[in-house]
Structure 1
């Protein structure tokens, strides 16, 4: 909590990711004591303590004029191909009987059949938070949004899932803000130059890119538009000319430490970025960190 004191002292709007159920209650009490309104949405599973995202707003500085909590994958209509049941004619009763033990085995073993990137992207429960704020001093209105992306990178299909979520997160922020300046901040699990990062910061992505989503086989509807209506820019890249050297320094078991930038504050071009917090270079710190 002490690390938040400097931010709350200067009445900053705070976006948090990986807010566990164990932390959600203490954070509510902490922010209430500081005169903040705290919105949280938990969506995880037991192994990560149902972690989610949070958004905290100082009520003496801003009026919360609108607020929204959504499961991001519910905010768009994904392309789907309806599977046709196979007809085995007079053997249908036999086939149905044979399906029963297979169905029981799947339930007992928690087996899940392979899915394409659209099914995977649609099946994610990650919540996204948005609020329209009105500054009590200037009456200026703007939007703030926070999100924690899935972490999928091992296969091309995984990377396409990441592109889908990056695109619809930016779309959501722009749609909710309805033309107002907007900030989209969070843990995006995207490195600078990854397809999702390029999509957000340019508003475009070459459709021949291996991480550009491919329409499901047999789909005959309108192509799904993953591109946001306009680009957003990293606040750090605007001020410093480049992204931070790293925001993540972690190690899983005996793997090599992972050190790179995954966290961003994206802004629309009508937001003036005055300054950013100075962050250390990876050579100047000893990690990994928890």
Structure 2
């Protein structure tokens, strides 16, 4: 493992390993930062660390079955976590935390304040997980807070409502349906949840900060952290939330460079990972969420993000999570934590982590928490440099709100259909509707084509335009939620 200066060598913190004052070194990632160049640090360099601290309410002996009660003790773990964080705070690192329980958040506020750090956090869980949430801490001596947003991510999307009749029937028969389903599930396993409904009901919050580098007045950048819903059984849910997170963050950041990190709960190469690093996901992908009728939002992003670890080391860490919990047949060991950067940020180096084989050889293998690792996740961090050009990948200066999933500019994010602006990533939906209308026009036996009442006014307008192109007539009928559009073969009652 290479040694280099960077913003300061990452040292293994001295922790109280046995709870009685005995010190020792910690964690499998205690090596120095690997540098991509040998340049001296500059004023616009930043260190960013991301760490899932493991909620104090989820660290139970009857759940983490292979871990000792001493290493699961919340007070002992909190002391160890603080000392590990101090090793990063010594060099003025920005800290992104996940699974911060309500009990720990109060202590961490005092801890950060005592070290001249500002801590912004939000809890959103439940009593079982200690109302855990996410947080970002930054040193007041190095950064000025320009803007902050705390958002329930599922609220950033306009969800297509169920038809009114469906909702009314469900309200009447829901108790009977639940009883029947519970009896049926005893015979056969329940079907997987609907990805859209599951994604909508998730309460996970995202924190976004715009910070100014005090050493370089006027130099601003965006920092965001998120804890992805752990829905590995329905990966499409994580694809939806990944797209929502990037759309939200990239929209707010505008032309500022972006650092986006956290516990993403997906593995390298998974669909959600490729959505971020490739900047898109094929509709043929196994876990591409099947479109909902009347909703033309799609899982897209403005531009791809780069992984700091992959750029510095050629690959993601072998693992950032090593755990064995009740119900598992074997240890889970894989990479779930990431640090992504946009154009306008140079990766100087990352905190190297041991591989599984190295951890075993060194006697520091999991499952965690252990006396070497206070969480079941390992902290990741990177030295980064803000480039004067800013986020060159983002070329949108003006924003226009729309229901197509992102906010894009008239200049580069739209293609024009007649007098209506249409997001380019919605073209597949437009083609689908156009094909449906073309088949209708060619079918001599069918005189009318009715569309669902769930369509919005601008979507009905698009159908009017497509009908006009095909020589069809169209008319919107009804009012409110019952308003719908019909296409006709004969040019009568056309309503534009």
TM-score above 0.5, yes or no: yes
Deviation at 1:179, TM superposition (A): 1.6
Q: What SS class does the counterpart of residue 107 from structure 2 fall into?
A: helix
- Please give the residue correspondences for 1:101-120 in structure 2 after superposition, counting only pairs within 5 Å: 102=176, 115-120=193-198
Deviation at 1:224, TM superposition (A): 1.1
From 211, 215, 236, the equivalent of 2:309 is 236
User: Which residue does the alignment assign to 1:188?
Assistant: 264
Deviations 1:12-42, CA, capped at 9 Å, x for gaps: 1100001011110111011101111101110
User: Which residue does the alignment assign to 2:354?
Assistant: 280
User: Which residue does the alignment assign to 1:92?
Assistant: none
8 Å contact 1:79–1:224 — kept in the other structure?
no
Q: What SS class does the counterpart of residue 236 from structure 1 fall into?
A: helix
User: Which residue does the alignment assign to 1:266?
Assistant: 340
User: Which residue does the alignment assign to 1:126?
Assistant: 204
Query: Judging changes above 3 Å, is the alpha-carbon distance between structure 1 residues 100 and 83 closer, same or farther for their aligned structure 2 residues?
Result: closer
Query: Judging changes above 3 Å, is the alpha-carbon distance between structure 1 residues 183 and 86 closer, same or farther for their aligned structure 2 residues?
Result: closer
> How far apart, CA to CA, are the structure 1 residues paired with 2:148 and 2:225?
12
- Please give the residue correspondences for 1:1-290 in structure 2 after superposition, counting only pairs within 5 Å: 1-85=82-166, 99=173, 102=176, 115-139=193-217, 140-154=219-233, 158-216=234-292, 219-221=293-295, 223-253=296-326, 254-285=328-359, 286-290=365-369
> How far apart, CA to CA, are the structure 2 residues paired with 1:152 and 1:19?
20
> How far apart, CA to CA, are the structure 1 residues paired with 2:274 and 2:164?
34
Higher helix share: 1
Deviation at 1:220, TM superposition (A): 2.5
User: Which residue does the alignment assign to 1:109?
Assistant: none
Q: What SS class does the counterpart of residue 280 from structure 2 fall into?
A: coil
TM-score by length of 2: 0.52
> How far apart, CA to CA, are the structure 2 residues paired with 1:103 and 1:233?
46
Query: Judging changes above 3 Å, is the alpha-carbon distance between structure 1 residues 115 and 190 closer, same or farther for their aligned structure 2 residues?
Result: closer
> How far apart, CA to CA, are the structure 1 residues paired with 2:129 and 2:252?
29
8 Å contact 2:281–2:299 — kept in the other structure?
no
Deviations 1:111-158, CA, capped at 9 Å, x for gaps: x9985211110110001001000000112110000000001112xxx1
Deviation at 1:77, TM superposition (A): 1.5
8 Å contact 1:79–1:215 — kept in the other structure?
no
Alignment gaps of 5+ in structure 1? 89-94, 107-111
> How far apart, CA to CA, are the structure 2 residues paired with 1:60 and 1:101?
57
The structure with more radius of gyration = 2
Q: What SS class does the counterpart of residue 248 from structure 2 fall into?
A: helix
Deviation at 1:85, TM superposition (A): 4.6
> How many positions carry a matched residue from both structures?
274
Deviation at 1:200, TM superposition (A): 0.5
> How far apart, CA to CA, are the structure 2 residues paired with 1:104 and 1:173?
38
User: Which residue does the alignment assign to 2:441?
Assistant: none
8 Å contact 1:233–1:267 — kept in the other structure?
yes
Query: Judging changes above 3 Å, is the alpha-carbon distance between structure 1 residues 234 and 100 closer, same or farther for their aligned structure 2 residues?
Result: closer
8 Å contact 2:232–2:265 — kept in the other structure?
no
Structure 1 stretches (4+) deviating beyond 6 angstroms? 103-106
Q: What SS class does the counterpart of residue 105 from structure 2 fall into?
A: helix
> How far apart, CA to CA, are the structure 1 residues paired with 2:332 and 2:199?
24
